[in-house]
Amino acid sequence: MSGKREKVILLADCMSFYASVEKADHPGCKNKPVVVAGDPARRSGIILAACPIAKSFGVTTAERLGDALRKCPELVIMRPRMQHYIDISLMITRIYEEFTDLVEIFSIDEQFLDVTASLPFFGDPIAIAKSIQQKVLSQTGVWVRIGISSNKILAKIATDIWAKKNEDGIFTLSKSDVETLLWPEPVNKMFGVGSRMTAHFTRLGMNTIGDIARTPLPSLKEKFRARFGKQSDIHAEVMWRTANGLDDSPVTPRTFSAPPKSVGHMMTLPRDYNDKSEVDTVLLELTEEVCRDCRRKGYMGSVVTVSCMCSPYEAPTGFSRQMKMPDPTNNTNAVFQAVKMIFYKYWDKMPVRRAGVTLSQLVDDGNYQLTLFEDQVKSRALEKATDRIKDRYGSAAIMRASSLTNAGQAADRSTKIGGHYK
Ligand SMILES: [Mg+2]
């Protein structure tokens, strides 16, 4: 055989993660229906996780607490302890790392493992999956389901469609089984396909994953363009590659080294800039440079500083002002909005000679991934629910989990309630 040896990739997914952690910490609730809810004090709070017993009453993730209580009045409601879940998640990472040093955090409750090089030491993939399950269960009380394949997307699909439904929580999806096993499945079971995409595919007469896979890519792009415009080419390709089980991205471990204090760029302009559109261009360039730098290095920042020096040199004016954004980010657009807001608030309209943009209070964006609303799997369902709540109560009603962890750590330690709905 020519070419590279097939890899063995696992996707390990924690079942009902937050609820499982709470049940492990509250043995008295072992046989009770337990949910973790955004705000137990309000019936409008949403369900962040439900244990299998609660689910058997029809309770679902992302539904409103009030609705869940109607289905199951004896529901035990726990308030979320995000820092604790992050700690347990990292503990699970450490367990995975006993089997391979190639562990990639995908979300707070899902991680990829490349165990190709571990096979000679730990046995075949199923044996490794079983030892992982036992170790995680005995040390944390959490049950993990494991999909096995030769790349990340197929491992993810193996977990979502099959391992989650299996008694033993393990499923192997070989590349050669894609046609017989994956292609007959309905499109809405495919990773990355939400209700909007499902409707789109239905309109195109594509009902199974195989229908997508068998459409030649150029023609799929055309069909996407007709509806979503030219920028949809990438999306079409992602869908097509997923349906065909193609993915050559490696399992990439994150390094949790301490981020630098700040990332900034400064520009001395070749001449005076007076014009708003020119100034905007400079600010955007600086912002893009800073954000790209952060993205490359894996950081996000929550404080934006804009500095500016205006002519003449003999009597220069200028400012250096900062603003805290609601969430850490390295998204150019988000930072640019903040940059413009600061700049136009303090600029005295004198010709600009130098300008600078800095992002500080940096966090590792891998850590940031460990947040509830970044969880790509649940996000489809949660997005809707959170939008609804934001519409009604304003965007402060739902804090991102990262703000909960930063601001909430001290509060969490001092109260440690995690108790029942009062
Ligand atoms: Mg899960």
Identity of residue 334: A
Q: Please identify which residue in the block is written with the tokens 């130098």.
A: 354
- What tokens does 220 get? 């799929």
Residue 210 Cα to ligand 1 middle (Å): 26
Per-residue pLDDT of 49-86, as tens digits, reads 999 999 999 999 888 899 999 999 999 999 888 778 88
Per the CB < 8 A criterion, the answer to whether 59 and 35 are in contact is yes
Element spanning 307, H or E? strand 299-310
* Residue 65 domain flag: yes
Q: pTM of the full predicted structure? A: 0.65
Q: How far is CA 207 from CA 226, 246, 290, 377, in A?
A: 19, 20, 44, 21
Q: Per-residue pLDDT for 406 more than 70?
A: no
Q: Per-residue pLDDT for 405 more than 70?
A: no
Lowest mean pLDDT among 51-55, 124-128, 282-286, 383-387: 383-387
Burial of 196 (0-12, 13-18, 19+ CB in 10 A): exposed
Name every residue whose Cβ is closer than 8 Å to that of residue 241 and which is 6 or more positions away in sequence. Answer: 153, 247
User: What average pLDDT does range 35-47 have in this prediction?
Assistant: 80
Residue 310 Cα to ligand 1 middle (Å): 54
| CATH label of the domain that carries residue 324 | 3.30.1490.100
One domain, residues 339 and 205? no
Task: Please report how many Cα atoms fall inside a 13 Å half-sphere around the Cα of residue 408, on the Cβ side.
Answer: 18
Residues with CB under 5 A from ligand 1 (ion): 13-14, 109
One domain, residues 81 and 121? yes
User: What average pLDDT does range 303-311 have in this prediction?
Assistant: 91
Residue 16 Cα to ligand 1 middle (Å): 5
Residue 24 Cα to ligand 1 middle (Å): 16
Q: Per-residue pLDDT for 328 more than 90?
A: no
For the question of residue 22 being annotated catalytic, the response is no
Per-residue pLDDT of 242-294, as tens digits, reads 999 999 889 988 655 566 789 999 888 888 888 888 899 999 999 988 998 88
Distance between CA atoms of residues 309 and 318, nearest Å: 4
One domain, residues 163 and 190? no
Identity of residue 409: Q
* Residue 177 domain flag: no
One domain, residues 341 and 383? no
Distance between CA atoms of residues 254 and 251, nearest Å: 10
* Residue 160 domain flag: yes
One domain, residues 44 and 33? yes
One domain, residues 164 and 192? no
* Residue 205 domain flag: yes
| CATH label of the domain that carries residue 156 | 3.30.70.270
Residue 156 Cα to ligand 1 middle (Å): 11
Choose the final residue of a domain: 334, 352, 368: 368
User: What average pLDDT does range 18-24 have in this prediction?
Assistant: 95
| CATH label of the domain that carries residue 227 | 1.10.150.20
* Residue 120 domain flag: yes
One domain, residues 167 and 77? yes
Q: How many CB atoms lie within 10 A of CB 132?
A: 23
One domain, residues 126 and 13? yes
Residue 159 Cα to ligand 1 middle (Å): 10
Residue 66 Cα to ligand 1 middle (Å): 23
3-class secondary-structure state, position 419: coil
Q: How far is CA 117 from CA 5, 126, 170, 172, 187, in A?
A: 11, 15, 20, 18, 34
One domain, residues 294 and 310? yes
Q: Per-residue pLDDT for 383 more than 70?
A: no
* Residue 393 domain flag: yes
Top mean pLDDT of 142-151, 228-237, 310-319, 387-396 is at 142-151
In the chain, the percentage of residues whose pLDDT exceeds 90 is 55
* Residue 251 domain flag: no
Res. 369 pLDDT band, cuts 50 70 90: very low
109 annotated to a ligand binding site:
yes
Number of domains, the chain: 3
One domain, residues 53 and 159? yes
177 annotated to a ligand binding site:
no
- What tokens does 95 get? 């367990």
Choosing from 22, 63, 104, 110, which is the catalytic residue?
A: 110
One domain, residues 350 and 363? yes
Res. 4 pLDDT band, cuts 50 70 90: low
Domain that holds residue 237: 183-243
Rg of the chain (C-alpha set) = 25
One domain, residues 277 and 231? no
Per-residue pLDDT of 216-245, as tens digits, reads 999 999 999 998 888 788 889 989 999 999
* Residue 288 domain flag: yes
